[in-house]
């Protein structure tokens, strides 16, 4: 399986996961509030319980958005949960928010972390 195939869903879901977290971020003197509307038109990822073991604990909105976006990439729920668990060791909620606020541009540090998570979870595909 190619690395590009493994990474594509992760990049897509990180961008989407950063776009709604229900948290406030301060940029200069402007406060930005993002709200996630929990709808589930495709019947995937709603009500999915994902346990992360890393040092960062994500709010439900980030987890739900991440899983919903990941599952759209035609990968397994186990793969999506695994990648989120791996990322929870190194990627903070603020990191997700920065990706969302930057229009989906992912810094090279984040790309390396995403690649590592995708490779570590390849057996879940």
pLDDT of residue 103: 87
- Name which of 23, 107, 120, 118 is nearest 65 in CA terms: 23
Please report whether residue 43 resides in a domain.
Answer: no
Residue 86 within any structural domain of the chain: yes
pLDDT in tens, 23-50: 444 443 333 333 333 333 334 445 677 8
pLDDT at 93: 94
Query: What's the domain range around 66?
Result: 3-23+56-124
Largest interatomic CA distance in the chain? 46
pLDDT of residue 4: 53
Name the pTM for this structure. 0.67
Residue 109 resides in a domain: yes
Q: What residues have CB less than 8 Å from 20, skipping those under 6 apart?
A: 34, 35, 36, 37, 61, 62, 65, 100
**Residue 10: inside a domain, yes or no?**
yes
Instruction: Give the pLDDT confidence of 93-122 residue by residue, as tens digits.
Output: 999 888 889 888 889 999 999 999 999 999
Considering its fold, how many domains does the chain have in total?
A: 1
Asked whether residue 42 is domain-assigned, the answer is no
Is residue 63's pLDDT more than 60?
A: yes
Residues in the chain, total: 125
Q: Please report, in angstroms and rounded to a whole number, the separation of the first and last CA atoms in the chain.
A: 10
Q: Is residue 38 part of a domain?
A: no
Cβ atoms of 87 and 112 within 8 Å: the answer is no
Residue 31 located in a structural domain? no
DSSP-based three-state secondary structure for 10: helix
Whether 20 shows a pLDDT value over 60: the answer reads no
Residue 36, domain member (yes or no): no
Q: Which pLDDT score is estimated for 23?
A: 41
């Amino acid at each position: 399986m190619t690395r590009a195939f493994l990474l594509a869903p992760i990049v897509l879901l990180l961008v989407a996961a950063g776009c709604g977290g229900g948290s406030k971020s301060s940029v200069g003197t402007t406060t930005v509030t993002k709200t996630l509307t929990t709808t589930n038109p495709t019947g995937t990822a709603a009500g999915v319980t994902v346990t992360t073991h890393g040092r960062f604990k994500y709010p439900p909105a980030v987890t739900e958005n991440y899983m919903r976006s990941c599952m759209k990439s035609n990968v397994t729920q186990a793969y999506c949960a695994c990648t989120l668990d791996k990322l929870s060791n190194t990627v903070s909620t603020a990191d997700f928010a920065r990706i969302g606020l930057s229009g989906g541009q992912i810094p090279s540090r984040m790309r390396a972390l995403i690649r590592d998570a995708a490779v570590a979870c390849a057996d879940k595909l």
